[in-house]
Amino acid sequence: MDFAKQYRAKNGNLQFKPSDAWLTDVIESDNSTGFCLACGETVDGVEPDAQGYTCPHCHALKVYGAEELYNRGLYFDADHAEDIARGRFA
């Protein structure tokens, strides 16, 4: 799962967020693919502005549309992911 990274949310729970590259691809192409913050799986047939849909994989109410994730800043910079993981900020 190179397009998603796990992180600790403000509430202390571990979640996933997609890469900016993946979001851009989805937004520019079909734009009906969502992403589950709880398990990191993609979900088809999701509106771009979806919020809190039920995930068919883990059943959490954590599926968001690509545009909604982008607008909320819930993504990571794929170009700098390795630097950030090692504590280097380019």
Q: What is this structure's pTM?
A: 0.83
Does 37 reside within a domain?
yes
Does 60 reside within a domain?
yes
Where residue 90 falls among pLDDT bands split at 50, 70, 90?
very low
Does 90 reside within a domain?
no
- Residue whose entry in the numeric block shows the structure tokens 């590259």: 21
Predicted confidence (pLDDT) at residue 70 exceeds the cutoff of 60: yes
Q: Which two tokens stand for residue 25?
A: 């691809």
Tell me the residue range of the domain where 67 lies: 4-84
Q: What's the rounded Cα separation, in Å, for the pair 18 and 45?
A: 17
Does 44 reside within a domain?
yes
Report the chain's mean pLDDT, rounded to a whole number.
87
17 vs 87, which has greater pLDDT?
17
Does 67 reside within a domain?
yes
Domain count, the chain: 1
Q: What is the pLDDT of residue 30?
A: 77
List pLDDT tens digits, range 9-50: 899 999 999 999 999 999 999 779 999 999 999 999 999 999
Give yes or no for a contact between 58 and 36, defined as CB atoms under 8 angstroms apart. yes
Does 89 reside within a domain?
no
